[in-house]
Amino acid sequence: MSSFGLAIALLLLLLLCLTSPVLSCTSQEKGSLLRFLAGLSRRGGLPASWRSSTDCCSWEGIACDGDGGAVVEVSLASRGLEGRISPALANLTGLLRLNLSHNSITGRLPPELLSSGSIVVLDVSFNSLGGGLGELPSSTPDRPLQVLNISSNMFTGMFPSTAWEKTRSLVAINASYNSFTGEMPSSFCISSPSFASLDVCNNKFSGSIPTRLGKCFGLQVLRAGQNNLSGTIPDEVFNASLLEHLSLPNIGLEGKFDGENVIKLQNLAVIDLGGNQFSGKIPDSIGQLKRLQELHLDCNNLSGELPASLGTCTDLKIVNLKGNNLNGQLRQVNFSTMLNLQVLDLMLNSFTEEIPESIYSCSNLTALRLSSNNFSGQLSPRIGNLKSLSFLSLANNSFANITNTLHVLKNSRKLTTLLMANNFIGERIPDDLTVDGFENVQILTLDGCSLSGNLPLWLSKLTSLRILDLSNNQLTGSIPAWIKNLNFLYYLDLSNNNLSGELPTALMEMPVLQSENFQDNLDNRAFELTVYIGSFAYRTLYNFPTVLKLGRNKFRGAIPPEIGRLKFLQVLNLSSNSFSGEIPQPICNIKTLQVLDLSRNHLTGEIPQSLNELNFLAEFNVSNNDLEGPVPTGGQFDAFAKSSFGGNPKLCGSSLAITCGFSADAPLASILSAKPLIDKTVFVIAFSAFFSVGVLYDQMVLSRFFG
């Protein structure tokens, strides 16, 4: 285009702008908006743009109608707004869309907005609005409301049940994550023919699932998990044949998982009925749900074998059946057809025999959890086909041949979590393995396998290792010096083996435990599936404490004073060994210690008094040694039970009710240094905050935490 042409075009554009109907709001609209602004206590910088001298159609977050100039949209999501919503907004008679989501707005939602004669989309999700919504007035003319998103607030009381017949255009309601009580809403199913999406999960609705939902013939999404509902899924619900997403976890539902009903819902892509009490078999007819992508039936009371027809649901990505009573072999399901499968979780069932070969065809599998079943046999080399596999749990089964298992897993280069506890009983840990894989493994558990042999050299090549649990085996020999080459290791559990020798100083050089910001390098993403170790559950690497557990072995010699270098250790357990000498003073430098167990050794000398400066110490045990002198007082030490010190006849102190006769200063010092009780509370909170993470996640998982 020539410059002349360009100039003409610009001129035209300018003219167009100048002559097009000037968007200018009426003073009444401006007044309503300013009243809304005045109701806010934090205004997110709006006043700079919302000046009464300017046209409110040009204000930030405001859009006006091209013709009449009426305000049609107020869009102020994520502005950091605080304060209340003024009912003045309802005076904007042309307002179609109001979006105040992701702010910190408090108070009530003005009923005028809910029953507005103009608003089509009302989104106040992710705020702190509370109180009840009240009932909608029934005498008003029709309301055009289509989308109502009030999720993630603090609303209480009953959900409006009447007068929805005036909202014939209603399409979606998201009232999830509030505290609504009373019956689950459903009356709009009768009046709003286009109604398609209802999300009321995480509330306190009670009673049963309304049969009226069956009248929602357009319903595609139904989510009502985490409520206080009960009973069965009424047959009528299966009349909503367009349903794609049926999510009713953790609401105490019972009854059979009815095959005849479920096949009426041919569009189902997601079924989530986890955490209920469904019993009986998984019906064969499930194979007719050709669009199924996610099947969550975890934590129910389902029994019997997996239906072979499951293999015909070729779109399945996630199959979560953990925590049922399912049994039999997996062989009758042909997994080769389920090429989209990404997560298969069969934990805590009673499946038996071998892993079927067909599973190794599911090349998109990222997480395979078979733990706590009765699987046996050996892994096939074909597991190397699972190129995306990053989470594998075989724990608590009867798998055999650890040498073979490690051999065939070498090729799973993406593997980060490998849990194999309680298998391979009585086998020998291979020491000749030429490990060139496992370079990405961060978590390795082989506890409870009664393995014999030494700590093998191949472990030193697992350079990404963070968590290593080899407890409860019969490993012999000493801790090798290469341990310090595991640059990221911060959780080492070698408890209950036959390890011997002195502690190598190399162990005290574990790099991450010395560096303040070792957590900076941690991947904070959630694992594909929760990692269970013993009775703890972990969702991310951050949740693991820093641990050195060497208890119940045959270690001897002095506890090296270099132990004080492990400045970021939280759990140190050296109990039930043959350590001698004194408790090294530098242990008091490990300010992060929460658990210190030195019991059942041959330690002598005094307990370092400055241990009372370890403010997070919650568990302390030096019982059954040969310690002497006064027990520290003050700090956490005022809270430890007598049993922490028992079996040391030469210890004294007020907490043991034995006066330290030979040292006149000690009792006085201990009285003077006694700190106020508040310290105890502080540590209890710190400790429980830390350790309840495991338990909490446990519960979250049991209550079907997913994605």
Ligand X SMILES: *[C@@H]1O[C@H](CO)[C@@H](O)[C@H](O)[C@H]1NC(C)=O
* Binding letters toward ligand X, positions 173-212, x by CB under 6 A: -x-xx-------------------x-x----x-xx-----
Residue pair 367/343 in contact (Cβ under 8 Å)? The answer is yes
- The two tokens of residue 49 are 């743009």
For residue 504, the minimal CB distance to ligand X (Å) is 30
For residue 401, the minimal CB distance to ligand X (Å) is 4
- The two tokens of residue 399 are 């798998």
- The two tokens of residue 652 are 């004294």
Please enumerate in sequence order all residues whose Cβ is within 8 A of that of 390, keeping only pairs 6 or more positions apart, or say none: 366, 367, 414, 415, 416, 417, 440, 528
For residue 396, the minimal CB distance to ligand X (Å) is 4
Using the Cα atoms of residue 682, residue 688, residue 691 and residue 693 in order, give the sign of their dihedral. Answer: negative
* Binding letters toward ligand X, positions 24-63, x by CB under 6 A: ----x---x--x----------------------------
* Binding letters toward ligand X, positions 210-229, x by CB under 6 A: ----x------x-x----x-
Residue 398, SS3? strand
Residue pair 90/116 in contact (Cβ under 8 Å)? The answer is yes
Of the two residues 322 and 600, which places its CB atom closer to ligand X in the complex?
A: 322
For residue 385, the minimal CB distance to ligand X (Å) is 12
Of the two residues 532 and 645, which places its CB atom closer to ligand X in the complex?
A: 532
Of the two residues 35 and 291, which places its CB atom closer to ligand X in the complex?
A: 35
Binder among 118, 232, 336, 463 for ligand X (CB under 6 A)? 336
For residue 160, the minimal CB distance to ligand X (Å) is 18
Window 363 to 392, contacts with ligand X (CB under 6 A) = 364, 371-372, 374
Helices (H), 240-394: 259-262
Of the two residues 61 and 584, which places its CB atom closer to ligand X in the complex?
A: 61
Distance of CA 24 to the CA centre of its chain: 49
Using CB under 6 A as the binding rule, whether residue 532 contacts ligand X is answered as yes
Binder among 58, 267, 334, 500 for ligand X (CB under 6 A)? 334
Q: Which amino acid is at 450?
A: S
- The two tokens of residue 691 are 């350790």
For residue 238, the minimal CB distance to ligand X (Å) is 6
Residue pair 367/345 in contact (Cβ under 8 Å)? The answer is yes
Using the Cα atoms of residue 500, residue 505, residue 511 and residue 516 in order, give the sign of their dihedral. Answer: positive
Separation of alpha carbons 293 and 259, rounded Å: 17
* Binding letters toward ligand X, positions 298-327, x by CB under 6 A: ---x-x------------------------
Binder among 9, 142, 194, 235 for ligand X (CB under 6 A)? 235
Residue 533, SS3? strand
DSSP assignment letter at 227: S
Of the two residues 101 and 186, which places its CB atom closer to ligand X in the complex?
A: 101
Separation of alpha carbons 415 and 404, rounded Å: 17
For residue 522, the minimal CB distance to ligand X (Å) is 21
Residue pair 481/506 in contact (Cβ under 8 Å)? The answer is yes
Of the two residues 315 and 562, which places its CB atom closer to ligand X in the complex?
A: 315
Whole-Å CA distances, 705 to 128, 244, 312, 482, 700: 24, 20, 27, 39, 5
- The two tokens of residue 433 are 């393995």
Using the Cα atoms of residue 175, residue 177, residue 181 and residue 185 in order, give the sign of their dihedral. Answer: positive
Of the two residues 68 and 557, which places its CB atom closer to ligand X in the complex?
A: 68
Q: Which residues bind ligand X (CB under 6 A)?
A: 28, 32, 35, 77-78, 87-88, 91, 99, 101, 121, 123, 125, 147, 149, 151-152, 172, 174, 176-177, 197, 199, 204, 206-207, 214, 221, 223, 228, 230, 235-236, 239, 277, 279, 301, 303, 334, 336-337, 339-340, 350, 352, 358, 364, 371-372, 374, 393, 395-396, 398, 401, 403-404, 407, 419, 421-422, 532, 534-535
